[in-house]
Structure 1
């Protein structure tokens, strides 16, 4: 048996978040009892523009990996990438069975088909409202409404200790168009039986009211589609099958066909139909088929609602998409919300469309989107049903977690916890107690490798992005005297073709040459000392002239 590094009380369930706390995305949570463990979700996160060259973030699974055979399986709540997207990167380090309902399993299979070892994981399909038994854990799937089919909460029960409800992502929507209605009766029954702890979604804990219904979006799209006669492009989260259903219904009412543009939309369409969704929706058109129809007879559903530069919507805004051009009088509808950190990228796309005379409609202009996460009134409802002893706020940044914890306390929770990734809590009938800290952190997919987020290559790119980069080449003889003028390359700082910048270049060359000339002769023979003198001189020059501290490298050649 692998030892977790702390003593485990047999009267407690151990809760260890490795991702999803203090950050949106990268959800990964461990539950342990008597040396055995399960993992809930294995998701990825998304980098922002402070991490140049990085798109995907991952939770560090080192602690989970150290459990070896005592990690019994990964139980997935639903198919969003922030809950399943790390499987293709991290499963080879864990090598445990996967458990998911049909639609989530279909999405996992699609991802696994793209890696060479994709046939190795044991992927077990769980029936709707089904149960999984792993070691001491009984895990009951409870249907929850969300912006994707088959979202589930996990009721995790250990005999003689209690039940923890891991909510996953959820909301209350009695007209979700496609997918689950939150199983109110099951949740109430769970509460009546007694809930030790709720580990819950904090995403919208700061937002008053109710998140709204997908049926409302459908009704508004019907109205909006009827107002326009030219091309209509609409972008939404690709995984929102209910939104695709709503778009189809609104298009049908306005005598239009629906065309999908973007690979991820086609993947979702395939997974949804294989899982029994979109039964009454005829096959969508591709862009070549849509080209044969008048512009006013097509709704184009495009990927790229979050401003992704390689997605369809961004390319269309740049007139760089082979299948679609938008012109003055056309309209783009953003049927989604901006994930924090993506606002500027999305605004750039909007501005490019507006400059062409293309109208832009967002959820600020009309009710074209509802969130898949609970607002405050929904959180109050679920706490009224469950009546937990302990409320643990996850799935959000600290400010959302804090508001969630305060609300849970007001709803009657005896104890609230705002965890950080890597903290270990023992949950028992006497309450929640922090007992240890394990290795955690965020990893980044860096090209074809996975590295820590503080890897020197990432930090250097960030510094270069803000401060530029300087390379100085110095050729000296054995005594350290210059054989030729230093050569300076200042990337992100100087324009070699600009007259003023050429003067700056001459100045820095002169200053470096002067410093070398004035350096004591007995020190010029030391390569390290000479290189450091040149580096400091160049860096100080650009700091004084441009208020920048560039990454500075020196190539010293001694002949």
Structure 2
């Protein structure tokens, strides 16, 4: 955990604070905290993707240790919407927090499914809260304010405190024609502005992009026109939580006499939750990949997971000809209906290259209108500032460049105080001086198989070393006097080409023989001393020959 060496922050009576333990300086792993006096409120608890620098790790989460140690003061967790970067960590971390959860009905449905899979459904106090309804979480007077986003029932959160009211926007945009989503509630936002907003803690994702973001309603006609000109199979990949995109693809397929198969469990989970709440009433039911496999190529479209290059997702399996039901062939088309999350570009590029090698056509948002962002651009942000008129702007949800772009815009909008936070910084919102009040420990956890570990833990460091520097395994057999009775056995992994291996092994074995011979008789009687002498000899030899620092394992076998 980072910053653990600093003095532990404790809130002062009568002061209002904000701190992000994740989701600021990066995309994903969102965890936000508000404190008033001795009471804490958490907003969102999400996941993020790992990259190739964390071998064996797919998912990351914020480290909640600071608030975990104060969980008796944590009054609740409020979820703004159902995307994985806002709810994904709940089944892994709730047992450490043990607090009530508040969410809109659709988001609560997704959370219940996750809790059921984790065996926690009967343990968690989960409240369904409708939009525009007030609810109290300890001393925090909360209200969900509907906003447009790429998932049903996304909301901003108005938080009333004795110091003043905060608007935590969550993910949002202004969309005149949303699909399976709320419309951003301009009337209520203007009212909040009239009532007075102390601080707006706001999404920065597209703060560097000019204008207004496109409308989800534009995509249906675009897909319909695009499908009409495609022969062969069509596969569309998008974020699995994008219920709006499901509807656009379903309508385009129906207009072109195609059936749509959902391919990927996470897509089915979102679809079923949306269907059960009536969001899918206007489209035909989806079919499974087993049924779709028997349809003619020009009568089927697939909506599949894997838009971010995830190795176990449906699209990657299709690109590697490894899917049990679906085969893509020359002349088929894959449409990437999403943006690349920073850090995933290489993984996505590998899949695209494989598809192109297969003769599959690729369509991206650069080629046609197949994606609109769920996050507001500078035009949306400017409009929001005009409605809400906060005294303080706190940009969150983005990398540092996004936060700085947002801060610049907030200043242009005449916001009196703009504070750009970092993960672990505690920001005082009032009533005393606004700004940095302290630091709290923060860090990143990784899902490693069935465990949750810190990314700084030994197993990940060892894998990183293995990945970059290789391994040398050594076995030496000595007699009771410490003399070698056979040549050392070496196994070099990830270090040299086969043609070089014998030469390098000979050099290393010679070094081992000298290292053992140079030990005193007493030290040769100690297996640990012999093993360490071998290890140091190999380390020096590999550094000299290959300029590498591999992981070295030594085994000493002593025979009578």
Task: Find out whether 1:108 has 2:111 as its counterpart.
Answer: yes
Give secondary structure in 1 for the equivalent of 2:475: strand
Give secondary structure in 1 for the equivalent of 2:117: coil
Distance 1:275 1:493 in 2: 56
Give the alignment of 1:23-422 within 5 angstroms: 23-159=26-162, 161-422=163-424
The 10-residue stretch of structure 1 (479-488 or 521-530) with the greater mean CA deviation from structure 2: 521-530
The 10-residue stretch of structure 1 (458-467 or 247-256) with the greater mean CA deviation from structure 2: 247-256
Give secondary structure in 1 for the equivalent of 2:34: strand
**Shift of the alpha carbon at 1:522?**
5.2
The 1:286/1:6 distance shift into structure 2, 3 A limit, reads closer
**Shift of the alpha carbon at 1:25?**
1.0
Give secondary structure in 2 for the equivalent of 1:208: coil
Distance 1:311 1:153 in 2: 31
Distance 1:267 1:31 in 2: 31
**Shift of the alpha carbon at 1:527?**
4.2
Q: TM-score, normalised by structure 2?
A: 0.95
For 2:458, the equivalent position in structure 1 comes to 456
The 10-residue stretch of structure 1 (140-149 or 424-433) with the greater mean CA deviation from structure 2: 424-433
Distance 1:150 1:545 in 2: 61
**Shift of the alpha carbon at 1:6?**
4.6
Distance 1:49 1:166 in 2: 33
Distance 2:138 2:384 in 1: 29
CA offset digits 1:199-245 (Å, max 9, x no partner) = 11111222222221112222221111010121111111111111011
Residue number among 440, 447, 450 corresponding to 2:449 in the alignment: 447
Distance 1:45 1:115 in 2: 19
Task: Find out whether 1:540 has 2:540 as its counterpart.
Answer: yes
Distance 1:461 1:69 in 2: 37
Distance 1:90 1:8 in 2: 23
For 1:13, the equivalent position in structure 2 comes to 16
Q: Is the 8 A contact 1:415 1:431 kept in 2?
A: no
The 10-residue stretch of structure 1 (145-154 or 516-525) with the greater mean CA deviation from structure 2: 516-525
**Shift of the alpha carbon at 1:533?**
2.6
Give secondary structure in 2 for the equivalent of 1:465: helix
Q: TM-score, normalised by structure 1?
A: 0.95
Unmatched segments (≥5 aa) in structure 2:
1-6
Distance 2:396 2:185 in 1: 21
Distance 2:492 2:320 in 1: 30
CA offset digits 1:394-446 (Å, max 9, x no partner) = 11122222222222122112222221222222211444232222221111112
Task: Find out whether 1:491 has 2:493 as its counterpart.
Answer: yes
Distance 1:56 1:293 in 2: 35
Distance 2:479 2:413 in 1: 78
Give secondary structure in 1 for the equivalent of 2:127: strand
The 10-residue stretch of structure 1 (373-382 or 237-246) with the greater mean CA deviation from structure 2: 373-382
Distance 2:478 2:387 in 1: 79
Distance 1:216 1:502 in 2: 64
Q: Is the 8 A contact 1:389 1:431 kept in 2?
A: no
CA offset digits 1:75-125 (Å, max 9, x no partner) = 100000110111100111111111100110110111111112322101110
**Shift of the alpha carbon at 1:528?**
4.2
Q: Is the 8 A contact 1:390 1:431 kept in 2?
A: no
**Shift of the alpha carbon at 1:531?**
2.6
Distance 2:386 2:230 in 1: 45
Unmatched segments (≥5 aa) in structure 1:
none
- Superposed CA RMSD in Å reads 1.7
The 10-residue stretch of structure 1 (62-71 or 348-357) with the greater mean CA deviation from structure 2: 62-71
The 1:211/1:540 distance shift into structure 2, 3 A limit, reads farther
Distance 1:274 1:173 in 2: 24
Distance 1:241 1:338 in 2: 18
For 1:552, the equivalent position in structure 2 comes to 552
Q: Is the 8 A contact 2:471 2:494 kept in 1?
A: yes
Q: Is the 8 A contact 2:174 2:380 kept in 1?
A: yes
**Shift of the alpha carbon at 1:479?**
3.6
Distance 1:377 1:477 in 2: 79
Distance 2:223 2:253 in 1: 8
Give secondary structure in 1 for the equivalent of 2:421: coil
Distance 1:548 1:216 in 2: 55
CA offset digits 1:500-551 (Å, max 9, x no partner) = 3222222221222123223454544454443333212212222233232111
Distance 1:201 1:291 in 2: 41
